[in-house]
Structure 1
Amino acid sequence: MQARSTEDLARSLYMALAAGDREQLDALLHPEFVGQIAEGMPFGIGGRHESPSTMRRNGWGGIARHFTARAEPERFLEIGTDRLLVTGRYRGEGRQGGTALDAAFAHLLTFEDGRIRALEQYTDTARWRDAASPLRTVLLDVNDGVATLRLNRPDQGNAINEEMTKDLAEAVSQIVETPGVRAVIISGNGSNFTMGGDVSLFAGTPPERLPHKLRRMIDAYHLAIERLTSMDAPVVAAVRGAAAGGGLGLLYVADIVIAAADARFALGYGALGLTSDGGNTWFLPRMVGLRRAQELFLLNSRLSAQEALDYGLVLRLVPDEAVEAEAAGIAAKLAAGPTRAFGAMRRMLRQSFETGLAEQLLAEVDSIVVAAGTDDAREGIAAFAAKRRPQFRGS
């Protein structure tokens, strides 16, 4: 194959992508085409996409759903007789209003029988993430099936203000809507998980406006909590420093909570003359018992990490510097599990506090019947019979 013909094919590919010309793409791509998009791309777009249809739907289609972006090739370099290195820039913007997209790329194209057999993409994924979303007070990254949601007001102890509640609701929506998310990590930048509500914001708000501001904040925050509890993907919380007030809601939605040995926990509402938000009055009595919940609310008691472990608020204590690595290891293990079955387990465990035995037994029957029809159940049973480790795909 001559170098000019590979360049012509490559140029035709970029023109077809810019025009959204599916027929031209079908003509250009080999039936056994494989696309490899850079890991670390937002919305779970990165990874291996086998077949032209999968690349159109989940690779290029994923980009088109979240960005108005165009690949602008600048240089073409022949590598041997059947490969071509194309460099250039992606330009455009995220559909959700992030920063403008301007990211360099390198594409390694492989040709076979006059068609494009493979494409490997390399690009500055950080620029894509910046363009993906207007999120500022939280950071969101999806990689290898794990979504990491990180509170990002470190200088304010990750105190929750109105902007953060909006960002949390948006970030959780993105997690739920991103294909391939199979576990979630929630953590905080800086030395604290979260100090709870931003008291300085409350103090700086005219008294007559504070009730309305709180309603707007809490409505968005509660939406995020509700969606985190109802999704299939298990949630892991990594707690360092303080976890307080409504911020404890982000611990309650987690299935696994890892905390630093010097972490500390408190409610603090009574000291402010306020009541509660973040699901504290629902989750806390179920986790620690009514008497302990009454003590924590009415006496404004604070818990050490060891006390939180003893009360059942956290699962495991590790040194401060090991918290996030421990949480990441657990999340990776969960992300390799049967995600749909995990989702059903999460929901049934929470509803068990509200249902009678007969109703719960019926829910278990309905759930396991549905699970038995999934690909993961077939794989799990086959792996058990063959005495091998199952390879779950989350479907």
Structure 2
Amino acid sequence: MPDTSLLFSLTDGVATLTFNRPQVFNSVNKPLALALQQHLRDCQADASVRAVVLTGTGRAFCAGQDLAEITGPDAPDVADIVTAHYNPIVQLIRTLDKPVIAAVNGVAAGAGANLALACDLVVAKESASFIQAFSKIGLIPDSGGTYFLPRLVGMQRASALMLLGDKVSAAEAVQIGMIYKAFADDVFDEEVAALAKKLAAMPTKGLAYTKQLLNASFGNDLTQQLQAEADYQLRAGNTSDYREGVGAFLEKRQPTFTGQ
């Protein structure tokens, strides 16, 4: 019987990857983790994919690791799970040459919260929430949480959220800069679709170069970053989409970008 823990669809250049284990709040087990890794690789290789949406079914976005998988005498080591399952997912999201939207439809807890924060844009239902649940079971935040969260909300607030395990509402997450936007529950799907469609119609290579520069900015000093911007601007200026964008501007028409 085929595994259905992760659903995939592709419409108008938008690939949607949907966590589909609602009975356990979309907690991640090995088949789901490996399926997500493979689909992200496929999205990178498929030129028809221009944007990616990561979301969940039911009341949760993702509750993090399925604890049933890491308990018992024959359970794998937690560190091995992190190394084999979560770290590759975070790396694939950050290196994907297309924008990735986390569409947080419900609670995002533990590794589920941090997988969302690794995405390029995070939007959420107003009823959704985020929680760094690791401290409640004696573990440390993984899946890039200690990297992304301090950069998003500052060291002091990140420390408090991770040490205390406080729940953050979608509205508060917007206020503190953790996520981009929160949408009313009844229009969430339509708003996500419109955002993904907009990104999929934009100059894909230029977006990819921007994403690569943002990644590099965490490790570069100002001089290095300025040089990187010049280098990438040269690449962007040689794309078909740049020529189309300039032509459309001069001709006072809407551009039609092809991602090339």
Contact 1:166 1:220 in 2 (8 A): yes
Structure 1 gaps of 5+ residues are 1-98, 100-133
TM-score of the two chains, using structure 2 as the length reference: 0.95
Aligned position for 1:262? 127
Q: Does 1:394 align with 2:252?
A: no
Q: Does 1:166 align with 2:31?
A: no
Contact 2:69 2:75 in 1 (8 A): no
Residues in 1 aligned to 2:114 and 2:135: alpha-carbon distance in whole angstroms: 17
In the TM superposition, what whole-angstrom CA distance separates every residue of 1:185-229 from its partner, at most 9, and x where no partner exists?
A: 110011110111112333x332x7441x65145423221221111
Residues in 2 aligned to 1:297 and 1:227: alpha-carbon distance in whole angstroms: 24
Q: Which runs of 4+ in 1 moved over 4 A?
A: none
Tell me the amino acid that sits aligned with residue 148 of structure 1. T
CA drift at 1:153: 0.4
Q: Give the SS at the match of 2:17.
A: strand
Tell me the amino acid that sits aligned with residue 321 of structure 1. D
Residues in 2 aligned to 1:176 and 1:220: alpha-carbon distance in whole angstroms: 18
Q: Pick one of 331, 356, 360 that aligns with 2:221.
A: 356
Tell me which of the two structures has the higher relative contact order, counting C-alpha pairs closer than 8 angstroms and 6 or more residues apart.
2
Aligned position for 1:375? 240
Q: Does 1:205 align with 2:72?
A: yes
Tell me the amino acid that sits aligned with residue 202 of structure 2. G
The structure carrying a bigger helix percent of its residues is 2
In the TM superposition, what whole-angstrom CA distance separates every residue of 1:82-107 from its partner, at most 9, and x where no partner exists?
A: xxxxxxxxxxxxxxxxx8xxxxxxxx
Contact 2:118 2:144 in 1 (8 A): no
* Worse-matched range after superposition: 230-239 or 281-290: 230-239
Aligned position for 1:316? 181
Residues in 2 aligned to 1:311 and 1:218: alpha-carbon distance in whole angstroms: 30
Contact 2:3 2:31 in 1 (8 A): no
Q: Give the SS at the match of 1:193.
A: strand
Aligned position for 1:220? 85
Residues in 1 aligned to 2:233 and 2:133: alpha-carbon distance in whole angstroms: 42
Tell me the amino acid that sits aligned with residue 153 of structure 1. R
The structure carrying a bigger strand percent of its residues is 1
Task: Give the superposed CA RMSD.
Answer: 1.6
Aligned position for 1:140? 8
Percent of aligned pairs with the same residue? 37
Residues in 1 aligned to 2:254 and 2:3: alpha-carbon distance in whole angstroms: 39
Tell me the amino acid that sits aligned with residue 285 of structure 1. P
Aligned position for 1:70? none
Q: Does 1:286 align with 2:151?
A: yes
Q: Give the SS at the match of 2:61.
A: coil
CA drift at 1:324: 2.1
Aligned position for 2:171? 306
Give the number of equivalent residue pairs. 260
Contact 1:380 1:390 in 2 (8 A): yes
Structure 2 gaps of 5+ residues are none
Q: Give the SS at the match of 1:328.
A: helix
CA drift at 1:366: 0.5
Contact 2:51 2:98 in 1 (8 A): yes
Aligned position for 1:366? 231
Contact 2:82 2:142 in 1 (8 A): no
Tell me the amino acid that sits aligned with residue 311 of structure 1. I
